[in-house]
Amino acid sequence: MADRLFGITDAGRVRENNEDEFITQEVMDNKFMIAGVIDGVGGYAGGEIAAALTKEVILKELTLIEPELISQLMRVFYQANEQIVTHKQGDLELMDMACVATLAVVDRQNNLFHYIHVGDTRLYLFRDHSLIKISHDQSFVGFLEDSGRLTEEAAMQHPKRNQINQALGLASREGMTDVYFETGSSPFLPGDVILICSDGLTDLVDVALITAVLNGSETLAVKAERLIEEANRAGGKDNITVVLAKNDKAPVVYAIPGVETRVKTQHAGSSSLAVPVVKTAQPLSEQNITKPKSPKGLIFLLSALCLLFLGTTIWSFLYHTAEGTKLDQPDTTVLVTPIKPGLNLQEKMIRDTLLKLKGNTLLLSDTVFKQPVRLSQALLIDRDTLILETKGNIVFQSDTTYKGPALILSPKCKYVKIDQLVLENFETGVIAYNNALDLKNIRFNKVNYPVQVRFVFPDQFYVNGRISKRNYAADSLAKK
């Protein structure tokens, strides 16, 4: 197998048995890669059995990848859950057995990955030398860390670090809510790496050290082994499992012969920016230079130089804007689409990204949006599925003259998850239709009506049903 998929597990230095399982499998003529980590719940009898049953179900059900992959992944986890519940019936020693799991399926042809997660195993995306945590620990301490109430160091030392809220095998399907599993999709670009690991790694090795290892030039196998070594060096208190998957395609770059070209790329679903410098291999010579022989040739050459100058000007403007540079009076003449009156640069950047987004995940980082994003109009989400996540503290703030909602979900939306965001000074925070909205760690500051849900039914039809059992509630911690 090429250097694009590798997994390794180790019992650690304290435990005699290993309750972890991992999956590294390519299916359908290597068009898809399956990467997963399963961790039998520590301290409970049968953790090994629960992990083995889950792995067996996954490998059996994912030999053929279906078009509706997220639905397929959820069905697989439900089946694994029922297998565990059925297996432990009547055996008192196995009554508490369960496991946590994170599973990703990489679509190599379309440069995408889709994932499902439950518990406190973790999924990271390594892109442009930065490590981004994709999954969220389904535990109280994990919630405190993800919401910024605990630092990574404090969370790693917390005595209740390993007490989870959700796992496979804890309850039958009837006892699960619609959002029991965390799912999502993301672009997976050439050079990207997925890291899936058990808490035996992340409880002992911090993000900075993991990032340093992944930044190396070694193979995936060497990097995975180094991560295991670092966890064991820090004490090896639990089983340690690491799976790495890489998009091994060569990046596509375009260069003008003889000209140093700067290429700006902004990836859908991420705020990560890369600005590689590309130089052509051939030096300039008389053989590869066409000299103008007529006024028409001179006009053509001057036109090309003007286009090149215009292109570099547009690049420079957009690059500095994306990095959060303050612009008092932006020169809108260089933009392909002029900024509408009242629409600021950060607001326009988010709107344009939503319109061009190809995947289902949009990640906003406070390294780009350093100041509150002032909205002069509602942000309309008009797509089947969207997962809007933020890294750091990002605030959407109403413009002084705007009195409407911050976000509107169209009736077309089937599932929209908004994670870690502050909405401030709006009359209404979010307007949603039907049961599409899923909020996690959202804070409303001076918002009169945080959420308004509307239902759409066919005209003149009888309607039966009730409001979803899923509840919204403020957590019990003091507000910040």
DSSP state of 168: B
Q: Of 114-128, 244-258, 428-442, 444-458, which gets the smallest average pLDDT?
A: 244-258
Tokens standing for residue 285:
């010579």
What is the spatial distance between Cα 374 and Cα 196, in angstroms, rounded to a whole number? Answer: 36
What is the spatial distance between Cα 16 and Cα 169, in angstroms, rounded to a whole number? Answer: 24
Residue 178 gets the label, from left (phi > 0), alpha (psi -120 to 50) or beta, of: alpha
Q: How would you label 118-144 residue by residue, b for 16+ Cβ within 10 Å and e otherwise? A: bbbbbbbbbbbebbbbbbbbbbebbbb
pLDDT confidence bin for 139, thresholds 50/70/90: confident
Read off the amino acid at residue 138: Q
Asked if residues 136 and 145 have their Cβ atoms less than 8 Å apart, the reply is no
- Asked whether the whole model's pTM tops 0.75, one would answer no
Tell me what pLDDT residue 307 has.
62
User: Going from the N-terminus, what domains does the chain have, and what CATH number goes with each?
Assistant: 5-246 (3.60.40.10), 261-333 (no CATH), 345-454 (no CATH)
pLDDT confidence bin for 218, thresholds 50/70/90: very high
Read off the amino acid at residue 152: E
pLDDT confidence bin for 283, thresholds 50/70/90: very low
Bridge partners for 431 per DSSP: 408, 452
Which residue is associated with the tokens 């406070």? 366
Compute and round to an integer the Cα radius of gyration of the chain: 25
Maximum distance among all Cα pairs of the chain, rounded to whole angstroms: 93
Average pLDDT over residues 291-313: 55
Q: What are phi and psi of 127, to 5 degrees?
A: -145, 135
Tokens standing for residue 422:
């502050």
Asked if residues 40 and 51 have their Cβ atoms less than 8 Å apart, the reply is yes
Asked if residues 97 and 86 have their Cβ atoms less than 8 Å apart, the reply is no
**Exposed, middle or buried, 314 (CB in 10 Å: 0-12/13-18/19+)?**
middle
Tell me what pLDDT residue 98 has.
94
Read off the amino acid at residue 337: T
Tell me what pLDDT residue 268 has.
36
Give tens-digit pLDDT for 19-32. 999 999 999 999 99
Average pLDDT over residues 264-286: 35
What is the spatial distance between Cα 398 and Cα 404, in angstroms, rounded to a whole number? Answer: 8
Tokens standing for residue 196:
């899936």
What is the spatial distance between Cα 341 and Cα 348, in angstroms, rounded to a whole number? Answer: 11
